[in-house]
Amino acid sequence: MMISYLREKVQTYLSVEKGEWLAFVMAFGWFVLVMLSYQMLRPIREALVSELPSGEKSWLFAGTLIAMTLAVPFYAKLVSLVNRRVLVLTLVNFFSVCILVFAYWNHQFGGPMMIRCFFIWVSVFSLYATSLVWSVLIDLFSTEQGKRLFGPIAGGATTGAIAGSALALQADNWGITAMMILAAVALELCLVFSTGLEFATKGWPAPQREQAVQGGILDGLREIIASPYLMKIIVYLIFISLFGTTIYLQITNVAKLELVDRDMRTSYFAKLNLLVQFGVLGVQLALVGPLLRKLGLTFALILLPVVSAGCFLVLSGSGTLFALSCIDVVSRIATYGIAVPSREVLFTVVSRQAKYKSKNVIDTIVIRGADSFASATFELMRSHLTFSSICLLMLPLTGAWLFAANRLGRQQNKLAQEQSK
């Protein structure tokens, strides 16, 4: 009796309907393992890169962008040759083998070249692995399902991030090589959940879902250029990068001055990350679903510009480490908890070409390019203005961001209604 009551309450709370539970669990579990693997690799990357000269970091970011640019054509070609199941199998196995190669390389030789390659590879892996999961989900779930389920499903990513961060604390006991091997095992287990997801959605209506997407990277780029809708998505993402990068660069600058000890800074940022992850998990599980269902996608999209305006207004009056830390936590919770699931709903109304090719270009080259642009913009402003002035200058930009978010949400709603006819 009690079990049935609890099951009914959980089902109502998460808005998972009958016939969707297995798909929900498989998607959630897939995200858990992907992020668990990445969060075990990320602290290894940060620990290793700290051994390189400080001037090399900017070159590593440039190298990451180049690697992204080179990887996109290969991904686009693969998508055009194989169906979704083979695509997932190929990429997961490829990433797992890469991790094992790095584990062997580090254990036997190590050295600066290994560190540089590992930094760039992890940066590429973090985007492609999550982009692959989202591409599959928006191919399988309808817009209506996405509004209900993408928030709670994204909670799997945060759950995996928390678990991975906790396991990473054991690096002193297990060693880097063992951590890499464990990350590879976790990634391989993703195939169990991706296969289960295919089985769970087998009876769902989705014509021609299994076919390979034809065409190359140029087709994806042409579709982006020719689509005002996709261009609006890119504008929205550029604003997110400009906001997030500005906060990130300033908090690292202030922390370096106030927390002179490296271990102290590491511990400080680790605590902030845990606060963010728990906050994001709560938002994804409890807030995003009801928010998208009751208030709509447009409201969810404009929420981040509103939060950003408030954050910059606060920072214009106080740029202390404590203020920056509070704003950093709030902004990242809003970004990863609300904006990211909402962004993925935007792609449920586009063609499969856009889902697998144009979206991949957006998720990799565009995002990394936006980060580089935001970083360069911040450094340029910082050379002429105080941080308080920069924050005030950001306020009218949040207004433009709000306008763009409103237009984007309305267009997605219009396209969704046209598809449902």
Alpha-carbon distance 180 to 220, whole Å?
Answer: 34
- Count Cβ atoms below 10 Å from residue 139 Cβ, excluding itself: 18
Mean pLDDT (whole number) for 29-36: 92
**Higher pLDDT pick, 48 / 373:** 373
Q: Side chain identity at 12, as an amino acid letter?
A: T
Inform me whether the pLDDT recorded for 188 exceeds 90.
Answer: yes
**Higher pLDDT pick, 15 / 90:** 90
Identify whether the C-beta of residue 146 lies closer than 8 Å to the C-beta of residue 89: no
Q: What are phi and psi of 213, to 5 degrees?
A: -90, 120
- CA torsion angle 297 303 305 308 (round to 10): -150
pLDDT at 4: 55
Q: Residue 23 — very low, low, confident or very high, per pLDDT cuts 50/70/90?
A: confident
Q: Side chain identity at 3, as an amino acid letter?
A: I
pLDDT at 104: 92
Of the candidates 144, 120, 151, the residue with the CA atom closest to the CA atom of residue 45: 120
Inform me whether the pLDDT recorded for 127 exceeds 80.
Answer: no
Residue with token string 């680790």: 270
Lowest-confidence range among 38-42, 306-310, 365-369?
365-369
Q: Residue 1 — very low, low, confident or very high, per pLDDT cuts 50/70/90?
A: very low
pLDDT at 71: 77
Q: Residue 213 — very low, low, confident or very high, per pLDDT cuts 50/70/90?
A: low
Mean pLDDT (whole number) for 147-160: 79
What rounded mean pLDDT belongs to the chain? 78
Mind listing the domains of the chain with CATH numbers?
Answer: 20-202 (1.20.1250), 215-421 (1.20.1250.20)
Of the candidates 349, 295, 415, the residue with the CA atom closest to the CA atom of residue 138: 349
Helices (H) and strands (E) in the chain, counts: 19, 0
Q: What percent of the chain has pLDDT over 90?
A: 9
Inform me whether the pLDDT recorded for 279 exceeds 70.
Answer: yes
Tokens of 68: 């992204």
Q: What is the pTM of this model?
A: 0.67
Q: Residue 171 — very low, low, confident or very high, per pLDDT cuts 50/70/90?
A: low
Helix (H, G, I), strand (E, B) or coil at 170: coil
Mean pLDDT (whole number) for 320-330: 87
pLDDT at 286: 73
Handedness of CA 378, 383, 387, 390 (dihedral sign): negative
- Count Cβ atoms below 10 Å from residue 42 Cβ, excluding itself: 21
pLDDT at 209: 47
